[in-house]
Amino acid sequence: MSAPSTSRAAAGQGPAEPVLEVRDLSVTFGTRRGRAPVVVGLDLTVGAGETVAVVGESGSGKSVSMLAVVGLLPTPPAVVEGSVRLAGEEVLGAGAERLREMRGREVGMVFQDPMTSLNPVLTIGRQLTEGLEERLGMGRREARERAAEMLDLVGIREPQRRLDEYPHQFSGGMRQRVMIALGLSLDPKVLIADEPTTALDVTTQAQILDLVQDLQSRLGTAVVWVSHDLGVVAGIADRVLVMYSGEVVEEAGIDALFAAPRHPYTRGLLGALPVLGRARTELATIAGLPPDPLDRPPGCWFRPRCPSRLDDRCASMHPPLHDVAPGHRVRSFYEVSG
């Protein structure tokens, strides 16, 4: 694993070509009640070795957009438009064969539920070596050695022995480590992790977060971390995109987002978190629920729930994303400061 990583780490020092570039991504689902735009106009750029977090609640479109990025959405009923460039190559519209090739090698994926992502009737070793043999053309023994290395890399003890065990013999946290090993096994340029720690205990989650950070610095992989939990991403992300009802409402560097959130939704999310050590005052809430994608209000989609509403345009015009500071964009007609 050493050769590719050093070259990538070296490449990450100069102005690097982004490993993932998403432009104006839209995903629309055909439903009985009409066409539902679940993701609207998403822009996302991930540089080599960077960690970008995509944060949102249910209905934000965060998971759907990632599935669209790797071409895993069934295309009817989904309609995907826009551009997704993985290491410079366009993904949308690429043939099924090319997509298959790219998955694993260019982009690795880790999903939320390790129980259903692993095949229960195959040993862990088999699931790891399968990809190595088929995709990298390795021999059986070489693949097995590499698989053991990977298990060791993700912190699983006695890797040789555990290669011959089945998923049900692993705990949830260990299975997620295996998923990460699988995701990284073909040395992809970017790893997309969709809520990988949501189903795990807090202590396990902390370990997985630390592990991913560790692997990242060693292998130079970029990471897109999708989560609903701002606390989780605080420790690992370089940049954050906050999504609401299918679109990005705020994008900023991690420190800037937490120190000075500009969009009322972001502030609401941060205010709603009970924080260890903070006084037991009433939590800030965001009244109401996200809109039905088939029935969004005119103007700003967040307006019915917005506590601020300082601008008359909110009711009639849809606010665009605009820069409020270098590297900090907000979808709002006014700025909430302070």
Partner 1 sequence: MTVGGVPDSGPEQPGADAGPETEPGTPPAQASQRRQVLRALLSHKLAVFGLVVLALLLVVGVFGNTLAPYGPNELDVPNRLTGPSAQHPFGTDELGRDVLSRVMVAARLSLLVGAVAVGIALTLGVTLGLVAGFYGRWVDDAVMRVMDVLFAFPAILLAIAIVAVLGPNVVNAMIAIGIVYTPIFARVTRASVLTVREEVYVRAARSIGVGDLRLLRLHILPNVAAPIIVQTSLSLAFAILSETALSFLGLGVQPPDPSWGRMLFEGRGFVQQAWWMGVFPGAAIFLTVLAFNVVGDALRDALDPRQRSAIEARAGVSS
Partner 2 sequence: MSALLVVEDLRVHFGGRRGTEPVKAVDGVSLTVERGETLGLVGESGSGKSTTGLALLRLLEPTSGSVHLDGTDVRAAGKRELRGLRRRMAMVFQDPYASLNPRRTVGASVAEPLEVHGLHRKDRGGRVRELFSLVGLPEGFVDRHPHELSGGQRQRVGIARALAVEPDLLVLDEPIASLDVSVQAQVLNLLVRLQRELHLTYLFVAHDLAAVQHVSDRVAVMRRGEIVEQGDAAQVYEHPEHPYTQALLAAVPLPDPAAERARRAERRSLADAVDLSEQ
Which residues contact partner 2 (rule: CB under 8 A)? Answer: 57-58, 157, 171-174, 201-207, 209-210, 213, 228-232, 234-237, 254-255, 258, 268-277, 280, 282-287, 289
Say whether residue 303 binds partner 1 (CB under 8 A): yes
Find the farthest-apart pair of alpha carbons in the chain and give their distance in angstroms, rounded: 68
| Single-letter amino acid, residue 237 | A
**Could you tell me where the beta strands, DSSP code E, fall in 68-120?**
78-86, 89-90, 107-110
316 binds, among partner 2, partner 1, none (CB under 5 to 8 A by kind): none
> Cβ closer to partner 2: 283 or 317?
283
Q: Closest separation between CB of residue 77 and partner 1, Å?
A: 13
Say whether residue 317 binds partner 1 (CB under 8 A): no
247 binds, among partner 1, partner 2, none (CB under 5 to 8 A by kind): none
152 binds, among partner 1, partner 2, none (CB under 5 to 8 A by kind): none
> Cβ closer to partner 2: 70 or 226?
226
* CA separation for the pair 37, 245 (Å, rounded): 9
Give just the sign of the alpha carbon dihedral 226, 230, 231, 236: positive
Closest C-alpha among 196, 201, 200, 202 to residue 215: 196
Entry field: residues in the chain: 338
* CA separation for the pair 266, 259 (Å, rounded): 11
> Cβ closer to partner 1: 33 or 141?
33
The 10 Å Cβ neighbour count of residue 287 is 9
Helix (H, G, I), strand (E, B), or coil: what is residue 59?
Answer: coil
Say whether residue 287 binds partner 1 (CB under 8 A): yes
Contact 56, 64 (CB under 8 A): no
304 binds, among partner 2, partner 1, none (CB under 5 to 8 A by kind): partner 1
> Cβ closer to partner 2: 273 or 317?
273
297 binds, among partner 1, partner 2, none (CB under 5 to 8 A by kind): partner 1
